[in-house]
Amino acid sequence: MPFFIKSGRGTSQGNRFAKGGSKRKFSQNKDPGSKKRLKREDEEIESDSDIGSDVENNNRKIGYESSSEDEETAEEKKLRLAKQYLAQIEAEEAEKRDDDEEINRDIVSHRLKQDILEQAGRLQRQVADNYQVPTVDDITVLRGHQLSVTCVVISPDSRYLFTGSKDCSIIKWDIQRRKKVAVISGGRKGTEQSHVGHTDHILCLAISSDGKYLASGGRNKLIHIWNPDDCTHIHYFPGHKDTISSLAFRKGTHQLFSASHDRSVKIWNVDDRTYIETLFGHEDGITCADSLSRDRAITCGGRDGSIRIWKVVEESQLVFHGHRGSIDCVALINESNFVSGADDNSIALWVVAKKKPLVTFHNAHGRDDKEDDEKIHSTVTSSENWITALTSLQHTDLIASAGSKDGCIRLWKAGENMKSLTPLFTVPVKGFVNSLTFSKDGDMLVAGIGQEHKLGRWWRIKEARNGVVIIRLRNKSST
């Protein structure tokens, strides 16, 4: 089966993005006569069209809009947009400096280079070695949910935290004051017609990069859209036929990807309140999804053993295999690299250009240091300490993982070119770690904790408390 899979449909861009959308299956064309392609595992598979999409995405990210004046030429438009971009960067940098100090042009130039590298997927800041082990005073626990916390997201300005739970409620927290700001109450099963909100377990949350929309999903098969400022209900999207397991906004836009146990990925335009299209390809329920700036999403399909990158504009997908168990979580590091975790207690680092992982760390949680390598690599059964949550501080070398109920969150350093994975330190927690996320500035790591796993009740830790753990991450140079 070839690694690069192209859909055979020639649906036009206009038709695909019209209201009502279209369903499309990303086909897996077989070509048994071409053996050479099967051997080219290390071949660069990024398409030339990514360059154009990067520019478009960057324009969308910083708020460019088309001019309504018909007489404006293409060159005039480019000049106007460039001036807007420079003015925005200068304004942002001016806020960080004294009012009477002249803006340093080198800073603006540096910002431009950083944005270009980010869009190209080649930006990776080396920050992991700068962090020190958190102390007891750096760990705060917030309690308010009656049942296990299943998902957490942080607002873009790092001021507020949103949590979802099996008790069907969403809580908004003020991070600095460590207090509740608002509660979106859940309803009972069977009250879907009268209750505004969730009536079954909430499993996923996502917030847009500008903080305008909060999306939630769960076992009642509906996606709810909320106003994060006052927690009022805006809209809901029906369409999935099974549990919604993961949500992800495309960075810099209000395009939403939803993944479900019905094996499909759906795309929505939240601004227009419209459905765009459905993507098929996974052979088992999808367990996790993520997205950055490009018009694409990454998903993992649980026990189908695959990770897929959906290239929406090109109507194609990239398929990756490498874990020996169910792949339960995946997170993008940048546009070219990602990390995944499976129920065989392994974590893998990947590059988009290769269909096999660059490095796999076996027994990532609960490894016995005296255990020999031969025994490690012969372990093919699932572990009680399977990887249940995974996140990255995007565009850096810092990764965090949770091993189910093993009692700790572990932080990792991704080596140069993603060819190594080194444990940094662990943070003790009690209970199932169902969700992890970094703040945008990397100053904190937040975990959703529960007495039970978010998808079932295989084990129950009675001494654990359902809540949220906020871990302050300190820089060594600041002490």
The pLDDT tens digits for 288-327 are 999 999 999 999 999 999 999 999 999 999 999 989 889 9
Between 86 and 213, name the one with better pLDDT: 213
Q: What is the pLDDT of residues 42-60, one digit of tens each?
A: 444 444 444 444 544 544 4
Place of tokens 């002249």: 102
Domain ranges of the chain: 50-120, 128-478
Average pLDDT, the chain: 81
Between 118 and 23, name the one with better pLDDT: 118
CATH code, residues 128-478: 2.130.10.10
Percentage, residues of the chain above pLDDT 90: 62
Flag whether pLDDT at 13 surpasses 60. no
458 conformational bin, left if phi > 0, alpha if psi -120 to 50, beta if neither? alpha
CA distance linking residue 226 with residue 278, whole number of Å: 23
Residue type, 229: D
pLDDT of amino acid 41:
44
pLDDT of amino acid 107:
58
Q: In what order do the strands lie in the sheet with 316-320?
A: 4-6, 316-320, 307-311, 296-300, 288-290
Q: What is the pLDDT of residues 366-388, one digit of tens each?
A: 754 433 343 444 444 446 788 99
Tokens of 159: 């001021």
- Eight-class DSSP state of 100: T
- How many alpha carbons lie under 13 Å from residue 60 in its C-beta half-sphere? 18
- β-bridge partners, 244: 260
pLDDT of amino acid 338:
96
The predicted model scores a pTM of 0.76
Concatenating the DSSP letter of every residue in 244-293 gives EEEEEEPTTS-EEEEEETTSEEEEEETTTTEEEEEEE--SS---EEE--S
Residue type, 246: S
Helix axes 74-95, 105-120, angle to 10 degrees: 110
Flag whether pLDDT at 36 surpasses 60. no
Cβ proximity of 189 and 472 under 8 Å: no
Concatenating the DSSP letter of every residue in 357-398 gives -SEEESSTTT--TTS-HHHHHH--S--TT---EEEE-TTBSE
pLDDT of amino acid 77:
72
Q: What is the pLDDT of residues 122-159, one digit of tens each?
A: 557 899 999 999 999 999 999 999 999 999 999 999 99
